[in-house]
């Protein structure tokens, strides 16, 4: 627990440092608890831990501003919106090929802005034509206009790129190839393998199953048809297409359940099976940073499982998150990092309760021995893991995707079981296809079956009307309240006996207190409350629009009441007349005018 507190204090300090400029000298606050060691010797551990947490808190707050780069002539973004420039650098990631453009992550090394070449650092996002032929490790000279990423109407595009360390964009520059193959040989091999696997999947699968396989297996989502992508968004299953910690968590837990069924708990082969397949998955996606982070967090859970210390999994997870945020503080606002952490936390804290309930139901209905009960437990374990991950991440998913699907839970529960099968059979088909394409075609029939099932589930739920609502109003405050409530529910579930005894005692004391109060003191307040409730219910707004004209002395004011909104037009010369008119037309419990004109 001590490491959890220290990690939490460090991450909270980095968040504070992003909001307030706190000096490094505040770390001295950590010395304040130490004198209490002389007075409370039996509390030494708590006092020392408190001191270290304060040091970590204010150390993190001071670390964040010191980690931010100073914007001067040596930074690429300082040349944004200053006309045409020429930059030389290297493509430092696998190009993202979309429907109309290809995106190149371009690490700049030199710039020429009307004069001589001078060193510069920073990453730009280049927009080039589809299939332009550039690849990872290419050294390019790009001539064009560096621009600050634009703010889109409903999407914080500059913030999205900033979390990836990108602060500049260049649209369709003039490009000259200086050299090729200058990147890491390992990454070059990985990206080349990814490209060949993508071509193989396109050759052995029809559309749209091929595009889905490329998105799920390789993280290449540019070829997914918009209609299919919209269907996943409307049904709350879009996270299935976005490789993140959610997918890795569910896949990892599904592999664990399958491995336990196959090998049994006495041998740790099931852990090594899941561990190997997760990192194979990360390799297939091109070792993208979000996937690598998710794989690291999943590996920590596997390590705790192998050592028989599942309770230590969250400690390791918290420490890993603190280390990652320390290396890159901007990671704290990255959606994939948040989803990875929350999904693993859901697997540790939420899923076990549902897994236990599922196993009890299977044992009660089918018994404990036999192939059928074992297979049923694998299915219920997968559902329990999926449900735990959904409960842990849905507010963040809704916050970033802007849609809350009313059918997201059942749609995900039905579609997710196909995900591990798609990954395993798809990876096998793609790997065999690199050697012998006809054999891969046969294996791909199984992949097609699972992909078609997933599409069928999503399209079936899409056909249901009014299955989603826009949730742009879900902000950080509501998300914090939700997770505080979830944490309280988890704590209550783990301390059921203590909570039950406390509640029983409180109810007993309250009932004893209430029974001692004479009825003549109880009935009048209850009667007043009942009347107020009935009056409030009778004055609740309906779905109609009401327009009332109020006499304010010089002309009439107009009060428009629609959909729970009150709009006042022309309030008159004084406040008394309009206040009297509003008091007559508005219910007693409504004291707010939403719009005044």
DSSP 526-556: HHHHHHHHHHHHHT---SS-EEEEEE-SSSE
Neighbours of 371 (CB within 10 A): 8
Residues 402 and 470 sit within 8 Å (Cβ to Cβ): yes
Whether 222 and 290 share a structural domain: yes
Dihedral sign from CA coordinates of 498, 499, 503, 506: positive
Whether 29 and 88 share a structural domain: no
User: Domain with 157 in it: what CATH number?
Assistant: 2.40.50.140
DSSP class of residue 23 equals -
Percentage of residues in the chain having pLDDT higher than 70: 78
Whether 327 and 465 share a structural domain: yes
Whether 227 and 342 share a structural domain: yes
Q: How far apart are CA 31 and CA 421, in angstroms?
A: 55
State the pLDDT at residue 269.
67
Cα 94–chain centre separation:
23
Closest of 140, 158, 137, 136 to residue 149, by C-alpha: 158
Q: Is residue 193 part of a domain?
A: no
Whether 143 and 165 share a structural domain: yes
State the pLDDT at residue 456.
92
Q: Is residue 485 part of a domain?
A: no
Residues 143 and 86 sit within 8 Å (Cβ to Cβ): yes
| pTM: predicted TM-score of the whole model, two decimal places | 0.63
Q: At 265, phi and psi to the nearest 5?
A: -80, -15
DSSP class of residue 186 equals H
Q: How far apart are CA 404 and CA 387, in angstroms?
A: 16
State the pLDDT at residue 265.
57
State the pLDDT at residue 101.
85
Q: Is residue 189 part of a domain?
A: no
Question: What average pLDDT does range 473-493 have in this prediction?
Answer: 80
Whether 60 and 80 share a structural domain: no
Q: Which domain holds residue 165?
A: 76-184
Q: What residue ranges in 330-461 does DSSP mark as E strands?
A: 403-405
Q: Does residue 88 or residue 343 have the better pLDDT?
A: 88
Whether 438 and 298 share a structural domain: yes
Q: Does residue 179 or residue 237 have the better pLDDT?
A: 179
pLDDT tens by residue, 357-387: 888 888 888 887 777 777 787 778 777 877 7
Q: How far apart are CA 207 and CA 232, in angstroms?
A: 16
Whether 318 and 458 share a structural domain: yes
Whether 464 and 564 share a structural domain: no
Q: How far apart are CA 283 and CA 555, in angstroms?
A: 74
Q: Does residue 523 or residue 436 have the better pLDDT?
A: 436
| DSSP secondary structure, 243-270, as one string | -SHHHHHHHHHHHHHHHHHHH-TTSTHH
Q: How far apart are CA 403 and CA 186, in angstroms?
A: 39
pLDDT(298) > 80:
no
Token pair 């009401």 is found at: 546
């Amino acid at each position: 627990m001590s490491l959890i507190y220290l990690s939490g204090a460090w991450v909270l300090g980095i968040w504070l440092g992003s909001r307030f400029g706190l000096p490094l000298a505040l770390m001295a606050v950590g010395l304040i608890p130490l004198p209490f060691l002389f007075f409370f010797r039996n509390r030494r551990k708590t006092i020392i831990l408190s001191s270290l947490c304060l040091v970590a808190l204010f150390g993190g707050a001071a670390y964040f501003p010191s980690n931010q780069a100073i914007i001067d002539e040596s930074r690429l973004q300082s040349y944004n919106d200053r006309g045409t420039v020429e930059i030389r650098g290297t493509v430092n990631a696998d190009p993202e090929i979309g429907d109309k453009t290809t995106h190149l992550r371009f690490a700049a090394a030199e710039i020429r802005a009307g004069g001589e070449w001078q060193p510069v650092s920073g990453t730009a996002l280049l927009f080039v034509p589809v299939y332009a032929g550039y690849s990872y490790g290419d050294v390019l000279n790009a001539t064009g206009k560096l621009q600050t990423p634009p703010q889109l109407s409903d999407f914080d595009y500059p913030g999205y790129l900033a979390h990836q360390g990108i602060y500049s964009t260049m649209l369709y520059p003039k490009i000259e190839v200086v050299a090729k193959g200058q990147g890491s040989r390992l990454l070059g091999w990985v990206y080349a393998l990814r490209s060949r696997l993508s071509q193989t999947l396109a050759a052995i699968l029809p559309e749209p199953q091929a595009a889905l396989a490329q998105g799920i297996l390789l993280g290449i989502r540019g070829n997914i048809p918009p209609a299919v992508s919209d269907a996943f968004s409307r049904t709350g299953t879009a996270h299935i297409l976005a490789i993140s910690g959610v997918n890795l968590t569910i896949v990892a837990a599904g592999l664990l359940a399958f491995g336990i069924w196959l090998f049994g708990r006495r041998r740790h082969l099931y852990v090594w099976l899941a561990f190997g397949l997760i990192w194979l998955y990360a390799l297939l996606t091109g070792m993208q940073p979000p996937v690598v982070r998710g794989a690291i967090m999943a590996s920590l859970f596997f390590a705790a499982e192998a050592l028989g210390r599942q309770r230590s999994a969250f400690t390791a997870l918290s420490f890993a998150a603190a280390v990652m945020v320390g290396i890159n503080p901007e990671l704290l606002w990255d959606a994939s990092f948040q989803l990875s952490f929350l999904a693993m936390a859901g697997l540790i804290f939420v899923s076990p309760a549902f897994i236990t309930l599922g196993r009890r139901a299977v044992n009660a209905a089918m018994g404990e021995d036999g192939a059928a009960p074992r297979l049923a437990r694998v299915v219920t374990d997968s559902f329990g893991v999926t449900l735990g991950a959904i409960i842990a991440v849905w507010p963040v998913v809704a916050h970033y995707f802007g849609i809350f699907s009313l059918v997201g839970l059942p749609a995900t529960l039905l579609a997710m079981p196909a995900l591990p099968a798609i990954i395993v059979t798809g990876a096998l088909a793609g790997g065999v296809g690199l050697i012998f394409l006809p054999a891969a075609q046969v294996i791909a029939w199984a992949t097609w079956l699972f992909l078609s099932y997933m599409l069928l589930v999503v399209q079936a739920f899409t056909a249901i009307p009014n299955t989603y609502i826009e949730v742009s109003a879900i902000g950080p405050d509501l998300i914090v309240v939700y997770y505080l409530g979830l944490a309280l529910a988890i704590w209550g579930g783990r301390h059921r006996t203590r909570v039950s005894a406390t509640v029983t005692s409180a109810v007993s004391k309250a009932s004893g207190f209430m029974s001692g109060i004479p009825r003549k003191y109880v009935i009048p307040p209850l009667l007043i409350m009942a009347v107020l409730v009935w009056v409030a219910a009778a004055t609740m707004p309906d779905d109609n629009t009401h327009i009332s004209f109020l006499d304010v002395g010089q002309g009439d004011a107009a009060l428009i009441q629609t959909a729970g909104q009150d709009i006042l037009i022309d309030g008159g010369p004084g406040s008394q007349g309009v206040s009297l008119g509003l008091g007559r037309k508005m219910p007693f419990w409504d004291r707010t005018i939403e719009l005044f004109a």
